[in-house]
Structure 1
Amino acid sequence: MLVLDAGNALFKSRDSASAPDARARAELLLSEMDAQGTAAMAVGTRDLGLGVAFLKRQTQRARMKLLSVNLADAQGKRLFPASLVTTVRGVKVGVVGVSPVTEKPVPVGVPAPGAPQEQVQGLAVESLLSAEVRQLRQKSKVDVVVVLAALPHAEALRLADQVEGVDFVVQSHEGRPPGIAQRQAQATVIPPGDRGRQLAKLVLQLDGKGRFEDAGEQERARQSLRLLENNLARARTRLSGTQDAAEKRALEEAVASLEARQKALHKTLEGGATGGGRTHLLSYIQLGSDVAADPAVQKRVERVEPPGSAAH
């Protein structure tokens, strides 16, 4: 298993970093992510509330690596490693971090009297990401490339459309809920869940070559087909029983549209992913009350959020 985080994990907003318990919360999250075996996290906007120096200090001895191919200081010097390469059960995986693009350097961290505030900038990402992915493919000879994109959803989709050599883009920025894997021209975009309430689980089958196909697509197609065929049967029944010309035209259009969709779903089922190729299967583990808390972690949480407090 490879555990990754797409970023924006430490604060609800950049402003919340000024709260009295903000530092303790961020320290707890970083230490627990590392203790749970997280290999890498992208640096997002909501991770910079206490600044770059804080992040580097807290992860100096951690196994978890903070990644960003395009986050730089005011002079344009990269602040974190762009990528890492790790091997899981003989599979070589390249992981790249991406941070939001900014038009100019912006202040981060909590201002301190008499000290200059840190400034960072998100450099234009497409060329930097393309170069990093080429290096991972050609020099490191990785089998899979995952981009941890702490970017708005539209920007993550654009990268998945345009950057060659990427297999998966795991996107985090707006707090989007669980969804389905979204296949783009070059890569598949994975929604990781909202504010730590879910754990996205992506199972890969690496037999064969070429792009990863969605192993869950056929089951979704079968479910959609069952619903569609019920609706189609009802529409045909209504069509056969109506004498009203306007209603008949509307029903004929509805039946034609449903039949076209039915044909497309049958095509999906006939040519969908099989167990003989490279496939992915996305599911979610809901981290609700039915998932037992670790007693030691619970004690650490309660030191930050005492039972009965507003935040608990």
Structure 2
Amino acid sequence: MVYLQRHLRLTNLSYIQKSNFAVWAKIHAFCLLLVVMAGCIGSTTTTVQLSPASRAELDAILNTLQARYDLTGSLKITRMMVTIEEAERSEELRELLWYKKSENGGELLHIQALGGMNEPRGIAIANQDKNQFLLRLVNEQKAYLGPLSDGVLREIFGVNLRVSDVLSAIFANPFLDGRTADFISVESSGAKSIIKRPGVQTGYVETITLFIREDEPRVTEWQIHDENGTLQQHATFADYREVSGILRPHKVEIERPLEQTRVAVKIAKVELNVEMSDSKFDPEPFLGEDVEIIPLSELRE
């Protein structure tokens, strides 16, 4: 998260304006991109061959998690509080979120950060169909616009980022990127299962904890350690409830100890599979004549 403060500060703003923008940028980086460390797969960690019984048990869990994603065509969150803690500072924001699988099969995401009177203060749109990423600062009459590519995002935010990491955060499913073949270990004790697999960065290890209740798996923890065993990121998912027959967490926390940063999300109202037009995710309405459009690449400067 500290990368965002370094990359996104605007030189002509007051301290308060800098603070608000930094906070807004941080939370949208989390919601849109999830700062899971990602990159080229090349792990040298030793994996094991699961027994047929263990593989079948694991596949049943993975299939259930995948089904929750497959059955969610759209998602709308109209009451969400996000708390950001960094070192000794703490900020709280209200957010709105819309997600949809487009008619063309792309992933669409629209997030708004609200001000004290519930007015939009910041808007972020990720449109896979149009290969566009918009970062709109309402008060500043500025919009950052550029291609939605892993390369550009990596340069801007200082960490490797993938679209699959976004989906993993929204659906509390670390397996949406398709890495379901190689595992370091799979241990089960009663309702609890602990799965370890190679990370996407060489030498990294991911530990995923699940609980099975009423035949429904719940991902509760997702830890990422580097090649030295240092905890890089710890995500927790809690307060699972059924929404339109699909089990979802209503509390998500992500902590990055080395950066002394913690992001906590509490969802009060979420709707699934509601009608929404693809136009909801079109950046054009937010690019009026009075808006200064700045190439997304300039956020690197």
TM-score by length of 1: 0.24
**Structure with more helix by fraction:** 1
Structure ranking higher in strand proportion? 2
